[in-house]
């Protein structure tokens, strides 16, 4: 899970608010064997394994490489999620893993309305090819996840879910 950014647009460390709700969704996925949270600009407290990336300011790719470097050697592919996607569907993670196991490609991304989104799956053979700007710079095979709903993208305080979708007290 990438959670290293400065959150300047949000105005405070949004990771501290969103990390646990997103982690709970990641942990619901059947295909996850290890969870690594990549921190950078802000200290994070969680029961998940946290790796601090000193190079986080170089870009999301630098943070991703820091996290991938800590993944257990027997893991053949990693699913990358963002800490600011509170509506992440655990089934999207599982769908990418199933597609990868079926030979759909080494770099897969969930697609919503035909547009590339998250999560992203990257097989181990490609980990060293991730540029500083991140996996977004690499070509992917899209896996339709329209039926699951997009994970969301919280960049500003006003982007936080409200009403029935809002983060519960338990999640925050």
Domains of the chain: 2-151 (3.90.550.10)
Structure confidence by residue, pLDDT tens digits, 60-111:
899 999 999 999 999 999 999 998 888 999 999 999 999 999 999 999 999 9
How would you class 24 by CB atoms within 10 Å of its CB: exposed for 0-12, middle for 13-18, buried for 19 or more?
middle
User: pLDDT-based confidence at 160, cuts 50/70/90?
Assistant: confident
Choose among 62, 70, 21: nearest CA to 41.
62
For the chain, state the CA radius of gyration.
15
Nearest 5°: the CA angle 61, 67, 71 is 135
How far apart are alpha carbons 164 and 117 in whole angstroms? Answer: 24
pLDDT-based confidence at 170, cuts 50/70/90?
Answer: very low
Residue 6's CB is within 10 A of a number of other CB atoms, namely: 13
Q: Are strands 2-3 and 36-39 parallel, antiparallel or unpaired?
A: parallel
User: What's the gap between Cα 126 and its chain centre?
Assistant: 17
Show the tokens assigned to 140: 């992917």
Structure tokens at 112: 């919503």
Is 156's pLDDT higher than 90?
no
Per-residue pLDDT, 167: 53
- Residue of 16, 59, 17, 51 whose CA lies nearest to 34: 51
């Amino acid at each position: 899970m990438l959670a290293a950014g400065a959150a300047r647009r949000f105005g405070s460390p949004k990771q501290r608010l969103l990390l646990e709700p997103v982690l709970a969704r990641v942990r619901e996925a059947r295909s996850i064997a290890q969870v690594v949270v990549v921190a950078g600009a802000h200290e994070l407290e969680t029961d998940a394994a946290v790796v601090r990336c000193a190079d986080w300011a170089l870009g999301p790719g630098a943070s991703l490489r820091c996290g991938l470097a800590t993944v257990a050697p027997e893991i053949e592919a990693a699913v990358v999620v963002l800490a600011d996607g509170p509506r992440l569907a655990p089934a999207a993670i599982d769908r990418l893993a199933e597609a990868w196991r079926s030979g759909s490609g080494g770099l897969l991304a969930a697609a919503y309305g035909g547009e590339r989104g998250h999560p992203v799956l990257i097989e181990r053979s490609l980990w060293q090819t991730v540029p500083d700007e991140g996996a977004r710079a690499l070509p992917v095979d899209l896996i339709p996840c329209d039926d699951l709903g997009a994970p969301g993208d919280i960049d500003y305080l006003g982007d936080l879910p409200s009403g029935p979708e809002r983060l519960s007290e338990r999640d925050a």
